[in-house]
Amino acid sequence: MNTTFLKACKGEQTSHVPVWFMRQAGRYLPDYQRVRSKLNFLDLCKNPALCTEVTLQPVDIFHFDAAILFSDILVPMEAMGLPLEFHEGQGPVFPEPVRSQQAAEALRIPNPAEDMPFVLETIRLLRRELKVPLIGFAGAPFTLATYVIEGGSSRNFYATKSMMFQRPELYRLILDKITACTSSYLIAQAKAGAQALQLFDSWAGALAPCDYERFALPYVQSILADLRKHTDIPLIYFANHGATLLRHTSGLDADVLGIDWRIPLADAIRQVGPHAVQGNLDPLALFLPKTELEARIAAMLEDGKAARGYIFNLGHGVIPETDPDQVKIAVEAVHRFSSRSKQS
Amino acid sequence: MNTTFLKACKGEQTSHVPVWFMRQAGRYLPDYQRVRSKLNFLDLCKNPALCTEVTLQPVDIFHFDAAILFSDILVPMEAMGLPLEFHEGQGPVFPEPVRSQQAAEALRIPNPAEDMPFVLETIRLLRRELKVPLIGFAGAPFTLATYVIEGGSSRNFYATKSMMFQRPELYRLILDKITACTSSYLIAQAKAGAQALQLFDSWAGALAPCDYERFALPYVQSILADLRKHTDIPLIYFANHGATLLRHTSGLDADVLGIDWRIPLADAIRQVGPHAVQGNLDPLALFLPKTELEARIAAMLEDGKAARGYIFNLGHGVIPETDPDQVKIAVEAVHRFSSRSKQS
């Protein structure tokens, strides 16, 4: 069992720097495409055998030091009672966005075992197969709220922000419910066997820091506090485009902060407080020629030495156009360079 | 003549804090909609009489302290020989994106007086009417390059970044040509009567700081150096989502740095070096109730006192859903609060 990832999360010494990539299971992999061609995305998310298969693929091929459950952050939003559709090339759509008191009150708090049994079954299946730790995950409440309030992706978050500014009680009702759903969902993942949990706050960077503090942070704090009561596995919080939020996120009771690529790693490490750090190569840097890619990774590993614990990752997910050979080069470089430097 | 804006750009004392809003002429205004309903967007951009009319509208209605030329950053890209289309609700499209040596070599450096006479004519017409300074503008080279290389807007800038990483000579050829075009375009605007010039780097925040330094910053430096040789009017550089780029942008030879809303104004002011500061209210904060909007503006004006010069603005453009009455409230608040505080 390779526990390097779990040790780095807790700031313990490791034989090498562990590495995994956000969206490491996904469309850039021909093996994934083969599975995905048989069924639509949401049906794939609900099929434990196939979710297990695609979760294992990148770990087997590239020797990542952790696996991340294959699923989507919006799965629990569907379980709250919201019809969810994925249209090819367009992203998620909620045809009935939540913008009224009535719609908010109609949201139900799912029972994960009853309403999302496929996720927990996938975790159990994966734990039988994996030789590396399994990361469970959920979306952070603000990010999830943007999808259900906007009805999908958004450019300027008009519906979400105008609700938070003009109808703060309604906003709070929706967020409280999403928060309760997310806590119980992650606790269920931990009980089913997830060995670390990551909260993805993909849209946190859309908020002014003063609004993040008021309209996003408290819900993250609430979930982390809930999780600490129920489990002692490592907790990771990733705020995308979150460099200017570090003053707030550095105080969070998480073990690890995930960092996106718009801030130099060394700068982020200086601002994360007592946290281990995970990140932050630009996913597009995987398009660099081999020697330049390796040089960039070497520099990051050097900077990472200053962290309480360092987990190599991208600053966001692998994009579909990525050449799998480049992923191989990157993972091998992290392992080779960090083993060498630990010996020296 | 109200020269408050020009004085603030140069760090001189003013009777009140000047205010203008990015996209202050635009779709949120019924008067603009009335003009725009008669013709398509690009035809409007090429009609000096109507461009003059829509530029004046917000200045007349809200008493902004500066006007900004009504145009689009992509107008000079069309003048470089690239067909440009605007589809309703979809944004700009270049049906023939520039991705080959041949396409890059085919780009021509326009002569502004011959190829974009309507812009210069608009400036001349506006100077006859305006009682506040007129700001000319252009897109910054990296931002313009993303549109012409991607063929339009982009999510992850795959075509641009993979070109910059894999074909740096081709990228440089395209950027050098866009830079030459932009310099001569802005110099022509100054000669026609623009009293300040702003470079919009809308997508700068998509770059890791190390890549910004290499693939975006040098072209901005080159344009600013060119402009300094030809004019002494204030130069403004706005890098959207640029908080983590301030280490680089604070060294630019501009008079003013525009700041987006994801960084507290006080933090930005501490990092801008010798520049005056322009920004940075979240455009969505215009949806706050009146008292909260005014409180937020009052706090920004307080923070702005620490700047070498302070120009109140949004952190990005006014969005179409904005209530004009809220714009009125904001502009009046800036004027009222800052006059009061200068007296005290």
The sign of the CA dihedral A105, A110, A116, A120 is positive
Helix/strand/coil for A278: strand
Residue-wise over B200-230: b if at least 16 C-beta within 10 A, else e?
A: bbbbbbbbbbebbeebbbbbbbbbbebbeee
Per-residue pLDDT tens digits for B61-97: 999 999 999 999 999 999 999 999 998 778 899 999 9
User: B344 to each of B11, B13, B86, B337, how far by Cα in Å?
Assistant: 20, 15, 50, 11
CATH number at residue A251: 3.20.20.210
- Which residue of chain A has the CA closest to B261? A208
- Residue B342's pLDDT band, with cuts at 50, 70 and 90, is low
Q: Give me the DSSP letters along A170-216.
A: HHHHHHHHHHHHHHHHHHHHHHHT-SEEEEEETTGGGS-HHHHHHHT
**Closest residue by Cα to residue B56 from B122, B5, B103, B126:** B126
**Closest residue by Cα to residue A284 from B210, B238, B220, B100:** B210
pLDDT at A319: 98
Chain A residues whose beta carbon lies within 8 Å of the beta carbon of residue B149? none
**Record: contact A262-B282, CB cut-off 8 A:** no
**Record: contact B158-A267, CB cut-off 8 A:** no
Select the residue of A241, A267, A284 nearest B162 (Cβ to Cβ): A284
Helix and strand numbers, DSSP H then E, in chain B = 17, 9
Q: Which of A99, A156, A246, A292 would you mutate first to test chain B, the one with the most B CBs within 10 A?
A: A156
Chain B residues whose beta carbon lies within 8 Å of the beta carbon of residue A285? 165, 208
Chain B residues whose beta carbon lies within 8 Å of the beta carbon of residue A241? 205, 241, 262
Query: Could you report the predicted ipTM of this complex, rounded to two decimals?
Result: 0.96
**Record: contact A267-B283, CB cut-off 8 A:** no
Q: Phi and psi at residue A233, in whole multiples of 5°?
A: -75, 160
* CB atoms near residue A12 (< 10 Å): 13
Kindly state the average pLDDT of the residues B2-26.
97
Select the residue of A209, A287, A289 nearest B161 (Cβ to Cβ): A287
Q: Which residues contact A291 (CB under 8 A, 6 or more apart)?
A: none
Chain mean position to CA A53: 19
Q: In the beta sheet, which residues pair with residue A138?
A: A199
* CB atoms near residue A128 (< 10 Å): 8
Q: How far apart are CA A268 and CA A256, in angstroms?
A: 12
Q: Which residues of A are catalytic?
A: 23, 27, 36, 72, 147
Q: Give me the DSSP letters along B280-334.
A: EE-GGGGGS-HHHHHHHHHHHHHHHTTSSSEEEEESSPPPTT--HHHHHHHHHHH
Degrees to nearest 5, angle at CA B69 with B136 and B129: 110
Q: Give me the DSSP letters along B98-133.
A: --SHHHHHH-----HHHHSHHHHHHHHHHHHH-SS-
Select the residue of B158, B289, B321 nearest A321 (Cβ to Cβ): B158
Q: How far apart are CA A51 and CA A67, in angstroms?
A: 12
- Which residue of chain B has the CA closest to A292? B165
Residue type, B16: H
Going from the first residue of chain A to its last (344 residues), give the mean pLDDT of each consecutive group of 10, the final group possibly shorter: 96 97 97 97 97 98 98 98 90 96 98 98 98 98 98 96 98 98 98 98 98 98 98 98 98 98 98 97 98 98 98 98 98 94 52
Select the residue of A208, A267, A289 nearest B282 (Cβ to Cβ): A208
* CB atoms near residue B315 (< 10 Å): 25
Q: Which of A28, A156, A262, A325 would you mutate first to test chain B, the one with the most B CBs within 10 A?
A: A262
Chain B residues whose beta carbon lies within 8 Å of the beta carbon of residue A284? 156-158, 161-162, 165
pLDDT at B344: 43
Select the residue of A157, A165, A319 nearest B288 (Cβ to Cβ): A165
Size of interface A-B (CB pairs under 8 A): 91
**Record: contact A285-B208, CB cut-off 8 A:** yes
Total domains, chain B: 1
pLDDT at B8: 98
**Record: contact A264-B210, CB cut-off 8 A:** yes
Select the residue of A158, A209, A263 nearest B244 (Cβ to Cβ): A263
Q: How far apart are CA A277 and CA A314, in angstroms?
A: 12
- Which residue of chain A has the CA closest to B292? A165
User: A39 to each of A12, B4, B125, B303, how far by Cα in Å?
Assistant: 42, 63, 61, 55
Per-residue pLDDT tens digits for B152-171: 999 999 999 999 999 999 99
Domain hosting residue B77, numbered range: 4-343
**Record: contact B209-A289, CB cut-off 8 A:** no
What percentage of chain B reaches a pLDDT higher than 70?
Answer: 99
Residue A21: both structure tokens together: 């990539």
Helix/strand/coil for B185: helix
Residue-wise over B7-16: b if at least 16 C-beta within 10 A, else e?
A: bbbebeebeb
**Record: contact B165-A319, CB cut-off 8 A:** no
To the nearest 10°, report the CA torsion of B90, B91, B95, B96: -150
Select the residue of B208, B262, B283 nearest A282 (Cβ to Cβ): B208
The answer to whether residue B311 scores a pLDDT higher than 70 is: yes
Residue type, A113: A
Chain B residues whose beta carbon lies within 8 Å of the beta carbon of residue A267? 244
Find the DSSP H helices in A19-139.
Answer: 30-36, 41-45, 48-62, 75-79, 101-106, 112-115, 117-129
* CB atoms near residue A61 (< 10 Å): 15
User: A321 to each of A26, A317, B257, how far by Cα in Å?
Assistant: 11, 12, 35
Q: Which element (helix H / strand E) includes A163? A: helix A158-166
- Residue B291's pLDDT band, with cuts at 50, 70 and 90, is very high
**Record: contact A156-B319, CB cut-off 8 A:** yes
pLDDT at B89: 75
Q: How far apart are CA B8 and CA B312, in angstroms?
A: 10
Residue A264: both structure tokens together: 């130099």
- Which residue of chain A has the CA closest to B165? A288
Per-residue pLDDT tens digits for B182-211: 999 999 999 999 999 999 999 999 999 999
Chain A residues whose beta carbon lies within 8 Å of the beta carbon of residue B321? 158, 162
Q: How far apart are CA A281 and CA A298, in angstroms?
A: 11
Chain B residues whose beta carbon lies within 8 Å of the beta carbon of residue A321? 158, 162
Quote the minimal CA–CA distance from B3 to chain A in Å: 31
**Record: contact B209-A162, CB cut-off 8 A:** no
Q: Which residues of B are catalytic?
A: 23, 27, 36, 72, 147
Q: Where are the beta strands (DSSP E) in chain B?
A: 67-68, 85-87, 91-93, 134-139, 196-201, 235-239, 256-259, 276-281, 310-314
